[in-house]
């Protein structure tokens, strides 16, 4: 609910940042294709492919710089407005200082979701599905090899989601009590608190590492099959070999983001469950979303 209302309150500025993000991802997706054409063209003393590659790179540079400048201003303003609304509203209602601090910190997670996590999702989707489509264009059999990777990855990440939700719930329980523990400042209690934080962070890290390791094993097997198939293609050219292998690396690199994204979604879900009861408090007097801008 809070994510939805926050989005609609600032939809124009957020959508513009995503337009720049998606544009940059499109240009980045075209890099291997344009590079392959440039390589094959230069071998034949033809510079049209190199011109295409240069134009795509310049377009990517322009969108990237524009997005970087605009993103910071947009999301810092959104966070400033949201955090101010949370603190002032909770203070008027007589909420304790420790809970106000906790809710203010939690509000940053929702802004981070729009600023950091969604762009990462866009990038991962372009890297995954975009590269998959391009590999199918180059060779259907190679595309099918990559498509079969969905089966083990779905099973691995289904189990990881369940584990991550449980671990993030335990970690967030500790974080919610942190202000009170630090306020009491009892040495044993403080020491035990931070030892527990370390323990659950290690559990999360171990789960992510196990997930990553299993995914990499399947990625190694896929790479071997794709390389062998690429060298068997009829009339294969150097530029085409480069493009296929680069799209394969992009495809596999996008998978490396999955564990972190799964963990962040699990964390956000738990935070959303915790502040579900306070969502009305945040928007009671500013029910018109324009008031948040």
Q: Which structural domains are found in the chain, ordered by start? A: 2-292 (1.20.1560.10)
Token pair, residue 12, equals: 């124009």
The CA distances from residue 238 to 36, 38, 39, 60, 228, in Å, are 8, 11, 7, 25, 15
Tens of pLDDT, residue by residue over 145-160, are: 999 988 888 888 888 8
Confidence of residue 54 (pLDDT cuts 50, 70, 90): very high
**What per-residue confidence (pLDDT) applies to 156?**
86
Q: Tell me the mean pLDDT in the region 216-231.
A: 91
Tens of pLDDT, residue by residue over 165-174, are: 888 788 877 7
Question: Residue 275: pLDDT above 70?
Answer: no
Lowest pLDDT segment from 166-180, 186-200, 227-241? 166-180
Tens of pLDDT, residue by residue over 115-141, are: 777 787 788 787 788 889 999 999 999
Q: 128 Cβ partners below 8 Å, 6+ apart?
A: 251, 254, 255
Q: 28 Cβ partners below 8 Å, 6+ apart?
A: 60, 126
**With contact defined as beta carbons under 8 Å apart, do 35 and 244 qualify?**
no
**What per-residue confidence (pLDDT) applies to 289?**
37
**With contact defined as beta carbons under 8 Å apart, do 143 and 132 qualify?**
yes
**What per-residue confidence (pLDDT) applies to 272?**
63
> Rounded to an integer, what is the distance from CA 187 to the centroid of its chain?
38
**With contact defined as beta carbons under 8 Å apart, do 194 and 174 qualify?**
no
Only one residue has tokens 């962070």, namely 201
CA–CA gap between residue 30 and residue 23 (Å, rounded): 11
Task: Name the residue among 215, 221, 219, 226 with its Cα closest to residue 259.
Answer: 215
Question: Residue 286: pLDDT above 90?
Answer: no
Token pair, residue 273, equals: 């469950």
CA–CA gap between residue 82 and residue 89 (Å, rounded): 11
Q: Tell me which of 289 and 83 has the higher pLDDT.
A: 83
Question: Residue 180: pLDDT above 70?
Answer: yes
**What per-residue confidence (pLDDT) applies to 143?**
92
Q: How many CA atoms lie within 13 A of 97 on its CB side?
A: 4
Tens of pLDDT, residue by residue over 75-112, are: 888 777 777 777 777 677 776 666 666 666 666 777 77
């Amino acid at each position: 609910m809070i994510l939805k209302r926050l989005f609609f309150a600032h939809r124009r500025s957020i959508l513009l940042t995503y337009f720049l993000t998606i544009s940059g991802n499109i240009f980045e997706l075209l890099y291997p294709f344009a590079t392959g054409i440039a390589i094959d063209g230069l071998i034949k003393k033809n510079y049209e492919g190199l011109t295409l590659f240069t134009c795509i790179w310049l377009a990517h540079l322009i969108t990237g710089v524009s997005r970087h400048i605009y993103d910071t201003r947009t999301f810092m303003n959104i966070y400033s407005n949201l955090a101010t609304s949370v603190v002032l509203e909770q203070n008027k209602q007589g909420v304790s200082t420790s809970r106000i601090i906790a809710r203010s910190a939690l509000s940053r997670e929702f802004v981070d979701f729009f600023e950091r996590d969604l762009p990462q999702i866009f990038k991962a989707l372009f890297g995954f599905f975009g590269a998959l489509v391009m590999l199918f264009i180059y060779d259907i059999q190679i595309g099918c090899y990559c498509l079969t990777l969905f089966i083990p990855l779905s099973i691995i990440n289904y189990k990881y989601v369940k584990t991550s939700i449980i671990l993030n719930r335990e970690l967030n329980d500790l974080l919610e009590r942190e202000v009170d523990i630090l306020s009491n400042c009892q040495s044993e209690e403080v020491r035990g608190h931070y030892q527990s934080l370390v323990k659950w962070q290690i559990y999360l890290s171990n789960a992510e590492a196990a997930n990553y390791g299993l995914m990499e094993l399947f990625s190694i097997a896929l790479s071997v099959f794709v390389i062998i198939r690429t060298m068997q293609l009829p009339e294969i050219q150097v530029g085409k070999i480069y493009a296929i292998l680069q799209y394969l690396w992009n495809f596999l690199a996008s998978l490396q983001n999955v564990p972190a994204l799964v963990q962040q979604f699990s964390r956000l879900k738990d935070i959303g469950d915790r502040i579900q009861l306070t969502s009305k408090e945040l928007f009671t007097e500013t029910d018109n979303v324009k008031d948040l801008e």
